[in-house]
Structure formats: structure tokens, C-alpha cells
Chains A and B, each alone.
Chain A
Amino acid sequence: MPRPIREMVTFTLDGREVTAPESTMLVDAALEYGDVEIPVFCYEPKIGPPVGACRMCLVEIEGVPKLQAGCSVPVKDGMIVHTNTPRVKEAQEGVVEFLLINHPLDCPVCDKGGECPLQDKSFGWGSGISRTVEPKRHFEKPLALSPLIAIDRERCIMCYRCVRFSQEVSEDHQLVLQERGADTFVTTFDGHPYVAPFSGNIIELCPVGALTSRPYRFRARPWDIEQAGSICMLCPAQCNVSFTVRDERVLRVLQRDHEGVDNGWLCDKGRFAYQAIHVDERVTEPLIRDGGTLRAVPWELALETAAAALRRAGGRVAALAGGETTNEEGFLLQSLVRDALGSPDVDSRRGGTLPLELHRALVAPALQASVPDLQYAHAVLVLDTEPVDDIPILDLRIRRGVRHQGVRLFVATSRPSSLDDRARGIVRYAPGAGEAFLAALDAALTGEGDVDALAGAAGADADAVRRLADGLRDAGEEVVVLWGERLTAGPRGADAARALLNVAARLGLAGRDGAGLLEVPSAANGRGLREVGVLPNAGPGLCEPSAEGRDADGIAAAAAAGEIAALYLLHTDPLLDQPSRRAWGAALEKASTVIAHAAFLTEGIAEHATVVFPAESHAEKEGTVVHPDGRVQRLRRAIGRQGDVRGEWQVLAELAARLGADPRVLTASMVSQRLFDAVPFYAGLTLDEIGGRGVRWPEREQAGALPTAALGPFALEAPPAAATANGRLRLGAFRSIWAAPEVAASPALSFLRPLQRAELSPADAERLGLRHGERVVVASNGHSVSALVHLRQAAPEGSVFLESGIAEHSAANLDGPLVEVRRA
């Protein structure tokens, strides 16, 4: 759907002429274009259309007898508006007076005090005199609305932003208003705690102190704190955040509204996992293994130990970079491994690499959709990803598009999606059969090829595939495919990527504004790491490397075979992040040196690392990252590094220097500059230009410097058929939003730490005689994990889905593709 183009109109505001885009709501037009603040409480356009409930924004419009709510009046040409006549002042004073009748004056002990819209508006628009002597209403307070949020109903002014958020933005439908009139109060529908992935947003939406953060409660007053803007690095969504800092500690994370990234929302992981920065478990000093245990050592010893081990290993070094690695760190790492040590073995993906041609094709500027495109497209296809787990904030963006812009949503996944009930069409295919599904879709779009056979190979319903093809073709020109990187993992990843490019080609997405592909990388800076050359078959800027190396799977195999002496793990624990635990267990066991940058001693690090450098938290880091839509964003240090932590770019540079390849960088910004010079399509970027809003490189002129690649359509090989279940079940793995060491380490979030559950269809459960909540053993090839049965109505028959990325009983323990599920 094309974005609305608005003409400018001129209206009169308090006697001055103001020009603003047509149909802008008066309060916005007045503030942005006329520098006049019309006070509001309930109005919050990012929630949805205005509701006109609080009546704070009453203004006088000539020719209209009654005062009008400025939040809901679109400006028109020639409109004459008065915001400060005695009549308006009387009405606004009245609303402030009404709001304060029942509002407790406990500002001195209220968390909101000092940053409270009600205080500000009372001061600005109230009369300053109270005429009421009546008793105020009373509620029990404060209550825990959830483990994360406290509710004080006495302070509530009933703007119901929180309820609207729950009903219309996150669509979890948990918060409601009960009772009516002055007895109205906010609660959950069934009285259960409000637990939802985005619940924390209501704290920021609340214009009073009725909803407060339990982890932040009474930790600081506004005059104790400073705000520091940066980027959240806990998932690929890379939401723009603002850290609340007091005495070099992060006390809170707030949204930093960016329409192109997050629309001003955060998930609860991003909002509350800051606690992991300041926990005792965090590694804040260098460690080396000594007699079987890791012990703290001075930096010099750690650096020299690492350098010596790397020197010894020479070309038999391999490196993996995890998602929290910045572009700069990735750039230095690949340079350390390639240039200083002469090894080509470096990777940042899980489950194998793709041919370089395909890496280039998938980031081709012509094919890149942006985040706002999800909201304004004619149709969105969610493909092999669960946004709420993999890139949470885009779940909200998709819902917004469906609700407000009439986007037609289609979902094609193995595992049921939380977006299913908003979708016009759903295709379920066997776990891992994304390639066959795409081949079927390709055939349905071209009308050539055997859709039935291909859909059969994917374990999907051929008619559903055909309906999807029709739906995508008929929706309109602008189609966005949001696809998960896992689609292209594994030995057939390249074939899946070609099938994906075929679908994009059939739909004509290349070069079309508002349409394209949007990848959900498996790691937070997955895209950036590939672009800066942390790939076995690509150097910085996706150029040809001097020598092609092994990918992650190859490294694991080589290490297990004793061909690799030293492993360098930058922000990754392969036991958690890589698909096969056993392959990596063997690799780590065999490698004589394992150097890791880690914030937490997760299993693989704790048992196998020989040198551990403390990792910076994302609040301590400097550098750049690349958003999945190509936006280069800048991380800025919000707090001093905790303990003995050093800048990781410094550590990498220092090691390179000790190994005889000194990169000669003295500051973080010098590394950034070196990087921008090395990647042709970043050429000319500066940190100033990136600033607080980022720069989408595919939109820059220099994007042409990306080596071109064929975008298809390609002739596809026949995809292999999904395994036949034969009484067993196909194994699908997923990683939930809460499967992260930061979640486990944050006291406030630890109640959300996932326990293994086996998601099954009711039909399979019945066949196996299993009930919801029952403990089962899931086994294959002699390996097994324990899980609780979790029935999902929309789960496809013949498949079971298990959580990966967790410490115990992870799906990564199992080989698949088929597993047995039996009662424990």
C-alpha cells in the first residue's frame, strides 16, 4: 500500500499562520509546525487512532460551537484554532481539576515524580488551587500486575493507553478495564499476571505513576540519572534504546523511537535484561585455565597466554563470531585470523555457508525491503521465522500493518506462528523442508512444474500453496518476504536460497519500492558480520577472500579430527548457538586452545575455554552494527566498563600486534574508519553521519560497489522429500525470545527462562496417548532429552518442536530428522 502523500495546508493557530501536512492531527501539527503545545494524556499515535478520552486537549475552532479535542481533529486549510482563550483555559483547568480529584498527591514517593506528564500538565494548565474536600477513591496498592510491573490504581487517570496497547498493539488481549465510571480500574481479563513479550511498554506509556517497573522502583529520581542513547544488541531487531544511567550503572532501558526500526516499542528482553550487566556471575576480568579451573589473571598474562597459543597454532586456528559482535570487532577478528595467523577458517553463521554469489544476491540493494515496508506493503509473507521469538519488535510492526493499513499477511512456517490468527493464508510444511516448499510456491507462481509433488515433498498442502501463490500475486505489487536465516542453513541451504530468489523474481520484487526481501538473521549482527567478512568464503565487503576456509560445520569437524589447534570464540558458545551440540562438544574437547570473549561462563566456555577475555555488555560497547534491513547503526558507550573489562576491539588489536600484524588503531572510531574504508559499499560513511538514527547503506550511492550477482530465476534442483514420519515425529527446533544467557542472568526475567517443552498437535498427542503438561522423553539415535508436552492446535501433524539455545535438554542434543516421543 503506498504511503499516504500529504499536501501542506495552512491554518491559523492563535493568530499565527501555520503550515502543516494535511490531515495531521491538530495537537501534532500545533507542536511540530507551530511550536504550540496542546496538552494530552490519552493521545499516543503509535498506539493507534485517537480516542478522545481524557479531554485535556480541548481547543476552540471557529465555526464549531463546542470545544473540540485537538487530538482527533485533522488540520484543514483555513481552519482557525485558538488554544488559549478564556473558554479553552477554563475547560483545560477543569480537566486538570477533574483528574486530580482522585489522584493521590504522593509525588514525593512516586517513581514518576519529576518525569511525570500529569505533574507537568497540572503545573502548566491547572489552576494551582484545589476545590475538592471529598475523600479520594481507594484501592489496594501497589499490586504486582506481573513480576515486572507494579500497578497503583489510585494514581491511574484512566487514559487506558495500557489497555489499548494490549488490545490493539501487541494484541495479547490481556489488559481490560473493569467496573465503570469513577470505579473503573485496569486489570487483566482473568486476574492472572500480565505476562507477555511486550508487557513492559505499558510502563513507558503510562502518563502517571500507576504502572511502574518493579526492577526500577525506588532506584533513582530523575535528577539522579542520565540518559544515554544506543542500540539493543540482544536480537537482530537492534531496537534503538536509551539507557538510564546512575553512577555508571544501567538502571533502566527506555525506547528511543525510530520509525525505521522499532516504532518506539521494546520487548521485555531488551527492556529488562540490562540487569545481566550488573550481576556477580558476569565475567569482568580475564581468566585462564589453570589446573582444570578458570582463574582470574592480570591482563598481561591473559594476553600473552592467548598470543603464545595462537602463535603456536599458526595456520591451525579457526574463529567463530557470535551475534553480539560489532562490525569493528568482526573486521579485526577476520583480519587477525587471516592476516596475522594465515588461517582462512572464520565464520559467523550457523549451519554452513552459502556460495559467495548467493551472499551477494541476498543483500543486493534492489531486493532489500525496509522495516516500514512491512507496515505499508500490500502483502507480507512471513517465511520460516517466528518474529516474536526471532526479531520480536517486527511482530508488532506486522500487526500494525494488518490492523491499520490492511496489509494481507501470509504465514509459511513449520511451527505454528503467533501471527497465524492475523493471516489470510497459512502454509505449514515439515521442519527443514523450506526449500521444497519454496520450490512448490515457485511452481505455483509460474504455473510450470508439479506443485502437488513439490508440496508433497515439503509435507505441505498443495492447495494451500496454490492459494498462497494467488494471494501474493493478487494482493498488489508491493510484497515483502520476511524470511528467517535458518531457511538457508544446512547442506541444502544454497538450494533454498535459490528457491527464495526465484519466488522474489516471480513476484517481481527486485527494484520495486516498498517491496523486497527482509532477512531475519540468526544472530543480532548477523548481517553486519557477513558484510565485514566474517565468512569462510568472503572478505570485507563480500569480496573474494585470498583463500577459502571452512565454515562452522567444517571447523567443528576439523577440530574434532585434530586438524585445528586453537579455536577463537568471539561472543559465542557453540554448544548453545550451533545446531549440533555433539559435534561441537567433540571439537571443543579436542582443541588444545580455546580463546573466548564471554560475559558469562556458559557450559562450553566453562568447560573448554583456556583463555577467557571478559566481554563488554552492549551498554559498554562502541562501534557499529548492521540492522537486517541494511541500516548501519551506532553503538555508544552508556556506562564505563565494569570491573576489569577492556574494549574488545583493543584486545583484538593487541593480539594482532603481538602476532606481528599491528593494525595501528588507537581509538574505536579509528577502527570504524578502517572498516568503512575496507568495505566498498560503506565507503564515505562517518560515525557522525550514522549518528543516532543510522544510515541504510542500500539507499546510498556507494551501494553500487557491492559486487553484482545473479538474482535469478534459477533452474532448481529437485528438492529432497521431507522424511516420512512412520510413527515417529519430525523434529523442528526453535529458539524462544527468552532463550538467552542475559535472560537467565537477569533476576527480574529469570522466571521466564524457558524449560524444554515438546510442542505437538493434539492429533499426535492422542495417537501417542499424551496429555498437555505431561513429561516425555524425546529420543533419536540413542540420545534423548526430557520435555513437557505442550499441545498446540495449529501444530502440523507428524512434527514435534523443541527449544534450542537452552542449557539443558536442548534440541541441539538430538540429531533428527525423526524422533520418538514417549512418556517419561
Chain B
Amino acid sequence: MTDHLLFSNIDEPGLRTIDVYERRGGYGSLRKALATPREELIETLKGSGLRGRGGAGFPMGLKASFLPKGDMQKYVVVNADESEPGTFKDRELMQKNPHQLIEGIVIAAYAVDATISFIYIRGEYVHQADVLEAAIAEAYERGYLGENVLGSGFTLSLAVHRGAGAYICGEETGLLDSLEGKRGNPRLKPPFPANQGLFQGPTLINNVETLSTLPHIVELGSERYAEIGVQNSAGTKLISVSGQVRNPGNFEIELGMSSREIIFGLAGGTFEGREIKLWFPGGSSSPVLTKDDLDLPYDFDTMAKAGTMLGSGAIIVVDDSTSVVDVALKVATFYAHESCGKCTPCREGTSWTRKMLTRVKDGSATPMDLDIMASVQERIIGNCLCVLGDAMAMPIGSMIAKFRGEFEDHIERVRAEQERAILAGVSG
């Protein structure tokens, strides 16, 4: 087991208060960062190899370097919408160690010269929002936020904004529209937020975990941080393991660890006598893997090579007691409900898929419907305005491809049962 970074001391009582956080060396990285020239700080972030922890895995330092220099209002926005099913790591980070996040925000804002920052937190995280509010108040009081942070001349305001319960507001441009008070719909890109984000100003938008990592990168230096993990997947990663495992929860791992070790070691493996049927390696939007893929190292590139993605690091385990039809219907229902409706393939494709799967489930579909369903997924993937459509089409497509037999058997079985019931009714 590697050293814990984000989760070091995570269960220490009172860590959420500024006194304990400071006692553990908190805000030391901020002092160090404020003494570093901005360009150098951005080079450090680039050199660390840190990739965004929200799902897309875009190199964080590179993104920060895209913000234009110069005298204009810039923003840092924290994506704390954590809406991907199976993902609950940011929740624990914010609830137990809010100052780590705040410190990361100030470092990032200083690096890109932003003076206004927001945490956009999902509406359901009521408790976490309260914890953050309290921590922000403490940070203001100690001079880590507000005018002239720690006497450096740098000024930053930070406010928490609660979402109203939409998956799409975890998509960065949808989040920005929502934060501006509009309907949370994704925007056409380009322009990217780095150029025109919040209120048309250059905006750095990052996930909670990504920003919580910054104090550690500053503390360790880019080289030492980059040594953790494997090629193209530097650092540690918080993994949320859920589903049919004995010991679900959040774990901090070094990237590149074997998937089997995560599921069977850290998460305690399946329940007695059951086998893994499929698992989502990166939240419900990642194409599924099967038990044959358990020995793959858990890192960005390996998952991509396996035709799926590491995503937000949310592993959902489904064992052989669960029907793949139920899993697929659950996923499709979720995305059909969450589609914003702006673009055609996602709006219509997700809802059509849900309707087809409902017919599969109740036995009124035919194998031809499976072909249509597979083709519908193909017509969604890559053709939408944002990735929400793909987020349904990729896992559904992978389930149809990998478990087609089970879908067909299910249709056949339900139909046979219905026929028997009808016959029984007739004869009775």
C-alpha cells in the first residue's frame, strides 16, 4: 500500500476544523505556492502529470495553462456536483477534509490569477455544503481567503453554490450555465471554459479531488508526485467501490494497482458462492468489463485500451445473481431521466432505449429489437453535443455486445413463462 495523500488522517476527529488541519501541516503548501511565481507553479502542475479526477482525465496543469494571461476577470469553479452513479469520493473529501479542498482552490486560483471562485455542489449534499460553508468562514477568518491572502497581495473570494439536482450540471459547461442562473444545459464547445467560461470570463473548472491534490503536489514537488503511479497515470486516486461486494467504500490507491486487488483485496470481494458477472470500472457511464478483465492494472491507459475508461474511479460490481437486463434498464432509465433534452440523439436516443429495454424486460421484445437497440447506441455515440448521450450508449452498447445471449434468453424465458401462465389460465 502506498502512502495516503488525500486520505491521510482522513478519519482523524476534527480534521474538518481549521485548527486540526493546520496542526497537520495544513495551508503550508499555500504559503509555499504564494511564494512561487505563477508560471513556475503552473509548470509544477504540468510536470506532476496530474490528470483530472472528474471523469475525462484531462491533464490539469495543461488546462490551467490555457487560461489567457492579462488583466481580466478570471474564475475558478469547483465541480462538486459528483453526479455519476457509483461515485462518492468527493462527498467524503468535502465532509471530512474541507480545508484540503479550500487550500487547493486558493493555490489554483493564484496560479491562474483568478479572484473569484465558486464551489458548485450537488443539492443533495446538504451536510457537506454546511461543512464547506463553515470551513470557508474559518479560512476567511485566518486570512487564507479574502483580501490580500496571507499578506501576498493576492485576493480571492470563495462561495458555495448548491445545485438543484441534475446530472447534467456535472458537465462543466452545463454547470457554468446553471451557476449563471440559467437552465443547466451544456454549451457548444469551443469556446472552452478556459477562454470563455463563467460570465464569459476565462474559467478554470476542476473536480474536488483534482484540486484537493494540489496541496500535495506543491508539498512533494512535481517530480516526486509524478513518481507515484504509472506512466500517464501519475499519483494516487480515490476509488469508490460499490455494488455486490462485501466491503464497499472509498479507497485511495496508487494508480496501476491490479483491479482484482481493489475489488477482492480492498473491497472484500463478492459474497459467498457468487461470481462477478460484470463491473463498471469508472462509473455507470463506462463500458462494462467482465470477470476476464480483473487482472488489468487500474490506470487511465489500460482502461482505455480495454475499450472502457477509468472515469471518476467508481467501480460498480455486479455479480451473477443479477440480470444484465435489470442493470441495462437501470442505466438507461437514469440517463433518459437526466438527459437535458438539448440535443436530438441524446434526448430521443436515451428515452427510446429505455422504452426498448422495458419491452425486453417484460418479454415483448424480439431479438431484432436488440439489433435496433445496438444500432441506436451507435447513432448516439460521438454525435451528441456533450457526453451524456455517450454515457448511456457506451455501457448499454457494451452490455448488448457482451451479454447478448443473456438478453435473448431473458426474452425467451419471460415469453415462455407468460405463455405457460396463459395456458394455465385456459386449462384452469
Chain A residues at the B interface, C-beta cutoff of 8 Å = 50-56, 58, 66-67, 69, 72, 90-91, 93-95, 97-99, 101-102, 131-132, 134-135, 157-158, 160, 176-177, 179-184
Contacts and interface: CB of A to CB of B under 8 A. Distances in A.
A93 B342 CA distance: 19
A134 B352 contact: yes
B356 A181 contact: no
A180 B344 contact: no
B38 interface: no
A52 B340 CA distance: 14
B369 to A, nearest CB: 9
A66 B188 contact: no
Contact of A181 (B188, B351, B379, B382): B351
A475 B119 CA distance: 37
B188 A52 contact: yes
Contacts of A158: 341-342, 344, 347
A55 B345 contact: yes
B179 interface: no
A66 B385 CA distance: 11
Interface in B126-180: 166, 168
Interface stretch (B29-37, B213-221, B331-339): B331-339
Given A102-B348, A134-B352, A158-B347, A181 B340 contact: yes
Contact of A72 (B188, B356, B359): B188
B294 interface: no
Contacts of B337: 181
A177 B376 CA distance: 26
B383 interface: yes
Contacts of A101: 348, 351-352
28 contacts: A51-B342, A52-B188, A52-B343, A52-B385, A53-B344, A53-B385, A55-B344, A55-B383, A55-B384, A55-B385, A67-B382, A67-B383, A90-B378, A91-B383, A94-B345, A94-B380, A95-B345, A97-B379, A98-B344, A98-B348, A98-B352, A98-B379, A99-B348, A101-B351, A158-B344, A160-B342, A180-B339, A181-B350
A180 B342 CA distance: 8
Nearest to B339: A181
A132 B352 contact: yes
Given A54-B344, A55-B344, A56-B344, 15 more contacts: A66-B383, A67-B382, A69-B385, A72-B188, A91-B379, A91-B383, A94-B376, A98-B349, A131-B372, A134-B359, A135-B355, A176-B183, A180-B168, A181-B351, A182-B351
Nearest to B352: A101
Contacts of A50: 188
Contacts of B188: 50-52, 69, 72
A67 B349 CA distance: 17
B341 A184 contact: yes
Contact of B355 (A54, A66, A97, A134): A134
A157 B341 CA distance: 10
A180 B340 contact: yes
A593 to B, nearest CB: 63
Nearest to B183: A177
A94 B383 contact: yes
Nearest to B348: A98
Interface string B204-215: 000000000000
Contacts of A179: 341
A16 B385 CA distance: 29
Pick the 8 closest A-B CB pairs, nearest first: A94-B379, A184-B341, A98-B348, A182-B351, A181-B339, A52-B188, A134-B355, A181-B341
Contacts of B343: 52-55
Contacts of B356: 134
Contacts of A90: 378-379
Given A101-B352, A134-B352, A177-B183, A182 B383 contact: no
B167 to A, nearest CB: 10
Nearest to B379: A94
A184 B345 contact: no
B174 to A, nearest CB: 11
Contacts of B351: 101, 181-182
A658 to B, nearest CB: 67
A66 B384 CA distance: 10
Contacts of A184: 340-341, 347
B383 A95 contact: yes
A95 B385 contact: no
Given A51-B188, A72-B188, A98-B379, A181 B344 contact: no
Contacts of A99: 344, 348
* Central interface residue in B166, B349, B383, by most chain A CB within 10 Å: B383
Contacts of B342: 51, 53, 158, 160
A132 B339 CA distance: 20
Nearest to A176: B183
A615 B344 CA distance: 51
A187 to B, nearest CB: 12
A16 B338 CA distance: 42
Interface string B348-370: 11111001100100000000000
Interface in B372-399: 372, 376, 378-380, 382-385
A183 B348 CA distance: 10
Contact of B341 (A58, A66, A182): A182
B19 to A, nearest CB: 44
* Central interface residue in B337, B338, B347, B376, by most chain A CB within 10 Å: B347
B258 to A, nearest CB: 31
A179 to B, nearest CB: 8
Contacts of B341: 158, 177, 179-184
A132 B354 CA distance: 13
